[in-house]
A and B are shown apart, each in its own frame.
Chain A
Amino acid sequence: MLVEAVARDLATHRDELNRLDGVAGDGDLGLTAATAAAALLELAPSLDSMPEEEAIRRCGRELATRAPSTGGTLLAFALMAAGKAEVGSEARPTARAAAYLRAAADTIAARGKAAPGDRTMLDALLPAVEALERGATLREAADAAAAGAAATAAMEPTVGRAAWLADRARGHEDAGARLIAMAFEAAARETTLGA
C-alpha cells in the first residue's frame, strides 16, 4: 500500500537527507524521516480498515508523537489538516489527493510562516499540488515536485535556522523540499493512481 511504499523508500534516504539538512540546518532531517518512516510502517497495517480521511489523520498523529522536530511537527499538522479537507465522495483519486495536499500545503505555509520561494518543503509541494489540481497524473505531480525541489538550490532561505546561514545554503537543494519530492516519487512508482 501507498503509506508503506513511501515510508520504506524514505528510510533508505536517511543519509542523503541528513547531509542536505546539515548544509544549513542541524543535520537531522534524515533521522526524523527515518524515525517517521519506522513509525508509519508499524502503523500501516491498522490503516486498511479506516476511512481514507481518518487514516490520513492517524498518520499525522503518529508523526506528532513519534517524530518530534520542527519538520516532523509541520508534517504532522499538515496531515491532520489534510484529513479534515473537504473532499467530494465522487472525486477521482488524484482530485482527492489534490484536495488533501492543498490543505496540507496551506497548513505548512500558515504554521511555518513560509511562502513559495522561501526555500522550504512548500517549494516542492505546491508545484505538485497545482499539477494535480490541473488534472495531472501522480507521475506528472512527482516530476513537478522534483523540479520544484531542484529549484530551491537557487533560492535564499528566509525562515527557520537556515535563514541564519544563507550563504552556506546556496547551491544545495533544500532538505525539506527534497524529502517531499522523494515522497511523491515513491508514491508515483507505487501506484497507477490517475494513470
Chain B
Amino acid sequence: MQKILNDPAAFVDEMLEGIIAAHPGQLRMPAARAIVRADAPVRGKVAIATGGGSGHLPVFMGYVGRGLVDGAAIGNVFASPSSDQMLDVTHAIDGGAGVLYVYGNYGGDRLNFDLAAELAADDGIEVRTILGADDVASAPPERADSRRGIAGIFFLYKVAGAAAAAGATLDAVVTVTQRAAAALRTMGVALSPCTIPAAGVPTFELPAGQMEIGMGIHGEPGVRRGALESADQIAGELLTAILADLPYRRGDSVGVLVNGLGATPKEELYILYRAVARLLDGEGIAVHRVWIGEYATSLEMAGASVSLIRLDDELRGLLDAPAETPFFSQS
C-alpha cells in the first residue's frame, strides 16, 4: 500500500497538526494529543469526552464540536491514549456540570479511561462512563458486555451531545445515552486489510475474491470468511444478524447508518443501503433517518458496516438536533 507520509513515526502528530491548522476556529489542542472544541469549556453544560487510537477518522476528534462531543484524547494508530491525555481533555472541557466518557469497549481504552476518571474524581470532577459495544459479531448476546465498539458509537455521540447541548443534567444525559446504547446494533464486512504506517505491512491477509463478515475495525477476526458475495446478499446477512439480536420488531422506528471503512466508495454504500431499505420495509420497520458515508474507518480497509438504532420520541428528537464539527454537520 502506497501512502502519503513524511515519517511513519510522525503520522499521528502531523495529522493532528493538519487538523488544527485546517479548523482553527473550531478546534484547539490544549495539551499533547488532546483535542477540544475551541470554545471549551462550555460553562454549566455537561461535557462529553471520547478518545481512542488513531486510524478511524472521523472517529474520534472528527466529532468534536457543537451538539456532539467536547473533547477527544488521541492515541497512536489502533492504540489507546494514556490516562494522562484523557485527564487533560477532562480538565479542558469540564464546565462544572460533570463529564461523560463515551468510547469503544476495548481493554486498553477502558484501563486508561477508568484511571483518568478516578484521577478526575480526585480533582472534584464527576465522571460517568458509557461504552460503545455495538458489534453483534464480536460476542454472543449472553456476553453482550464484552462486545467491541464500532461505527454505531456515532449514535451515542449524537444522543449524548444533543442532550448535553439542550441543558440536560449529567444523570439525564447518562440515562438517555444508556438507552441509546441498549437499542443499538452494528455488523460489518471487510474486503481488504489496512496497513498501519509504522508497521508497513497489512494487518492481516485476505485473499482476492474473499470477504470476512464481522471483522473488527482493527482486523479482529470476524464470524465467517468466504467468497465475496453480492451487495444484496451481504446486506441480508448483516441485517439478519442485527435484527435478530435486539430483536427489532415490526412497527419499530429506526435510525440507520451505512458506514464505509475507508476504501469503499459511497456509490457502493448506497447500493448496500438500497438492499437494507428494502429488507427493513419487508420487515415493517420504519426508517426515521439515514446517515451514509465514512463515520468510523479503519485506515484504507475496504468494506462497510450497517448500524441500526431503535428510536423513541426522545431519541428521534436528539438524533434530529443540529450539530456542527469539522467532519459532520446537520441542521
Contacts and interface: CB of A to CB of B under 8 A. Distances in A.
A80 interface: yes
A85 B119 CA distance: 17
Given A64-B84, A65-B83, A80 B118 contact: yes
Contacts of B111: 70, 73-74, 77, 111
A68 B118 contact: no
Given A73-B111, A73-B112, A74-B111, A68 B84 contact: yes
A77 B108 contact: no
A64 B119 CA distance: 9
Contacts of B122: 57, 61
A64 B115 contact: yes
Binding site secondary structure of chain B: helix
A76 B119 CA distance: 10
A80 B118 CA distance: 9
Chain A interface residue count: which class? 10 to 19
A61 to B, nearest CB: 6
Interface in B20-74: none
B264 interface: no
A185 B28 CA distance: 47
Interface residues of B, number: 12
A74 B83 CA distance: 11
A188 B119 CA distance: 30
Contacts of B119: 61, 64-65
A111 to B, nearest CB: 6
B87 interface: yes
Interface in A67-110: 68, 70, 73-74, 76-77, 80
A1 B189 CA distance: 58
A194 B111 CA distance: 35
B87 A68 contact: no
Contacts of A73: 82-83, 111-112, 115
A96 to B, nearest CB: 22
A49 B8 CA distance: 46
Given A73-B111, A74-B111, A65 B87 contact: yes
Nearest to B87: A65
B83 A64 contact: yes
Contacts of A65: 83-84, 87, 119
A68 B108 contact: no
Contacts of B118: 77, 80
Contacts of B82: 68, 73
Interface string A148-182: 00000000000000000000000000000000000
A69 B47 CA distance: 26
A76 B114 CA distance: 11
Contacts of B114: 77, 111
A64 B115 CA distance: 7
Interface in B92-147: 108, 111-112, 114-115, 118-119, 122
A68 B111 CA distance: 11
Nearest to A159: B107
A37 B169 CA distance: 42
Nearest to A61: B119
A76 B108 contact: no
A125 B70 CA distance: 40
A13 to B, nearest CB: 23
A70 B82 CA distance: 9
A80 B116 CA distance: 12
Interface string A47-72: 00000000001000100111010100
Contacts of B83: 64-65, 68, 73, 76
Nearest to A66: B84
Nearest to A65: B84
Nearest to A68: B82
A68 B118 CA distance: 15
Contacts of A77: 111, 114-115, 118
Nearest to A77: B115
Contacts of A80: 115, 118
Contacts of A111: 111, 114
A76 B83 CA distance: 10
Contacts of A64: 83-84, 115, 119
A70 B108 contact: yes
A153 to B, nearest CB: 26
Given A68-B83, A68-B112, 4 more contacts: A57-B122, A64-B84, A77-B115, A80-B115
11 contacts: A61-B119, A65-B83, A65-B84, A70-B111, A73-B82, A73-B83, A73-B111, A76-B83, A77-B114, A77-B115, A111-B111
Interface of A: 57, 61, 64-66, 68, 70, 73-74, 76-77, 80, 111
